[in-house]
């Protein structure tokens, strides 16, 4: 079922399954704001102080970072941090329903506002598919112009956790990563993740390369499995920790305790999209009860 609604005055859509799983998406940024499973539990973190004004990036949910990640410029065109997709008005194109699943698709095309800061033509679509205890987010993009262009992408998913101190992320063991807290200005400095699960005791901001297996977030009450398309080769793991969180005007001071970003991304090897060509990448979240 799809229904148009509003959240804090902003237009949204809800899609829901008959037995209760539900997703809310804001048209601003095609931004997933909420995913609740049939037991009523919220699985995404949305800051209680997020700026929901149809202009600012939204803190929490699933921001779409495109065509740039963070402030890593591609080519010579400076763009806003994390690109512009998360602050553009997307439109709803379709919704589909079949037994046990429901999906909605939103679209964004190059327009005068994007062309003013990034001189390339594109057609992007975000498809959100909801199944019992499972969610898939797929980003498709086509080069509709006559020039090739490079892009990066992150599905910047904020997971809700009861307590970050009790949370463990498994599945990254053996992977190479860049630690953005230790080596902010040296992206070439890489480390190897030990085999044991990753725990969180302070600010964490790392980009892992070559992710293949599903990741698992364990916390009291259940386990979330996260997988992604082979086209998304990187995973970003971010938690601001107490100190950085206190500097974010759109987070409560204890917000860092209840979130963990596990982002399916394409950062280290940007895609060069040729005229007429398309590209697709997805992240899948599957909740497993304890």
Residues in the site for ligand TA6, rule: CB under 6 A? 57, 70, 81-82, 156, 180, 205, 236, 238, 263
Parallel/antiparallel/unpaired status of strands 215-219 and 168-170? antiparallel
- Asked whether the beta carbons of 201 and 230 are under 8 A apart, the reply is no
CB of 59 to ligand TA6, least distance (A): 7
Q: Tell me which residue has tokens 């204890």.
A: 254
Sign of CA dihedral 175, 181, 182, 185: positive
* List of residues 6+ apart from 46 with CB closer than 8 A: 33, 34, 58, 59, 60, 61, 158
Q: Give the nearest residue (CB) to ligand TA6.
A: 238
CA-based diameter of the chain, in Å? 51
Q: C-alpha distances in angstroms, 109 versus 91, 92, 98, 126, 176?
A: 10, 12, 28, 12, 35
CB of 229 to ligand TA6, least distance (A): 18
Closer to ligand TA6 at the Cβ: 67 or 104? 67
List the one residue out of 217, 134, 133, 228 whose CA is nearest residue 171. 217
CB of 227 to ligand TA6, least distance (A): 19
What's CA 124's distance to the chain center, in Å? 15
Closer to ligand TA6 at the Cβ: 137 or 236? 236
What's CA 180's distance to the chain center, in Å? 18
Q: What is the Cα–Cα distance from 166 to 243, expressed in whole angstroms?
A: 19
Closer to ligand TA6 at the Cβ: 180 or 281? 180
Closer to ligand TA6 at the Cβ: 16 or 33? 33
CB of 238 to ligand TA6, least distance (A): 4
List the one residue out of 240, 160, 247, 249 whose CA is nearest residue 200. 240
Closer to ligand TA6 at the Cβ: 146 or 188? 188
CB of 157 to ligand TA6, least distance (A): 10
Closer to ligand TA6 at the Cβ: 122 or 256? 256
CB of 35 to ligand TA6, least distance (A): 19
């Amino acid at each position: 079922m799809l229904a148009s609604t509003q959240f804090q005055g902003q237009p949204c859509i809800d899609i829901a399954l008959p037995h209760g799983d539900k997703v809310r998406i804001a048209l601003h940024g095609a931004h997933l704001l909420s995913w609740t499973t049939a037991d009523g539990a919220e699985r995404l973190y949305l800051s209680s102080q997020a700026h929901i004004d149809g202009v600012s990036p939204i803190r929490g949910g699933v921001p779409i970072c495109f065509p740039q990640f963070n402030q890593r410029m591609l080519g010579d065109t400076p763009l806003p941090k994390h690109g512009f997709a998360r602050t553009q008005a997307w439109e709803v194109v379709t919704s589909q329903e079949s037994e046990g699943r429901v999906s909605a698709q939103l679209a964004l095309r190059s327009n005068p506002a994007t062309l003013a800061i990034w001189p390339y033509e594109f057609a992007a679509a975000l498809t959100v598919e909801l199944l019992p205890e499972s969610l898939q987010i797929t980003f498709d993009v086509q080069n509709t112009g006559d020039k090739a262009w490079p892009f990066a992408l992150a599905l910047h998913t904020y997971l809700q956790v009861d307590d970050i101190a009790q949370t463990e992320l498994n599945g990254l063991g053996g992977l190479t990563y860049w630690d953005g807290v230790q080596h902010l200005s040296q992206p070439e400095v890489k480390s190897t993740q030990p085999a044991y699960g990753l725990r969180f005791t302070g600010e964490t901001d790392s980009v892992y390369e070559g992710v293949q297996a599903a990741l698992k977030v364990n916390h009291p009450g259940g386990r979330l499995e996260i997988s992604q398309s082979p086209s998304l080769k990187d995973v970003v793991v971010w938690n601001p920790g107490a100190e950085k969180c206190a500097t974010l005007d759109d987070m409560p001071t204890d917000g860092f305790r209840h979130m963990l970003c596990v982002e399916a991304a394409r950062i280290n090897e940007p895609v060069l999209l040729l005229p007429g060509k398309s590209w697709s990448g997805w992240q899948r979240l599957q909740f497993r009860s304890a």
